[in-house]
Amino acid sequence: MRKLFLVLIAVASLAAAGAAVDRATPAAAATQTVTISKTGYKPTAVSIFVGDSVVFANSDTVAHTVVFRQATGFHCDTVLPVAIQPSKSASCTFTTAGKFTFSDLTNKGKSFRGSVDVAQSPTSSLAVRPGVVVFGGKATVAGTLADKQSGESLQVFGLQCGATNATALATITSTTGGAFTYQAQPLRQTAYSVRVKNASSSAATVKVTPRLRLGKVGRHRFALHVSAAESFAGKVATFQRYSTAKKRWVKVKRVLLQANTTGVAPTVITSATFRSGIKAKQRVRVTLGAKQVGSCYLAGRSNTIRS
Taking alpha carbons only, the member of 167, 157, 196 closest to residue 49 is 196
What are the pLDDT digits (tens) for 187-210? 999 999 999 887 888 889 999 999
- Main-chain dihedrals φ then ψ at residue 14, nearest 5 degrees: -65, -40
d(CA 218, CA 286): 17
Between the alpha carbon of residue 282 and those of residues 18, 168, 255, 256, 300, the distances in Å are: 26, 48, 18, 22, 21
pLDDT at 24: 65
First-residue to last-residue Cα distance in the chain: 16
Under 8 Å CB-to-CB from 101, ≥6 apart: which residues? 68, 69, 70, 113, 114, 115, 116
d(CA 303, CA 12): 8
Which domains are seen in the chain, by residue range?
A: 31-119 (2.60.40.420), 121-208 (2.60.40.10), 210-306 (2.60.40.380)
What are the pLDDT digits (tens) for 109-124? 899 999 999 887 888 7
| Helix or strand holding residue 9 (H, E) | helix 2-18
What are the pLDDT digits (tens) for 14-72? 344 344 344 567 665 678 999 999 999 999 999 888 888 999 999 999 999 999 999 99
**Predicted TM-score of the model (pTM):** 0.71
pLDDT at 178 over 90: yes
| Helix or strand holding residue 5 (H, E) | helix 2-18
Amino acid present at 74: F
Strand order in the sheet with 211-218: 211-218, 221-228, 268-275, 258-259
pLDDT at 105: 87
Q: What is the dihedral of CA 156, 159, 160, 161, to 10 degrees?
A: -150
- How many helices (H) and strands (E) the chain has is answered by 2, 29
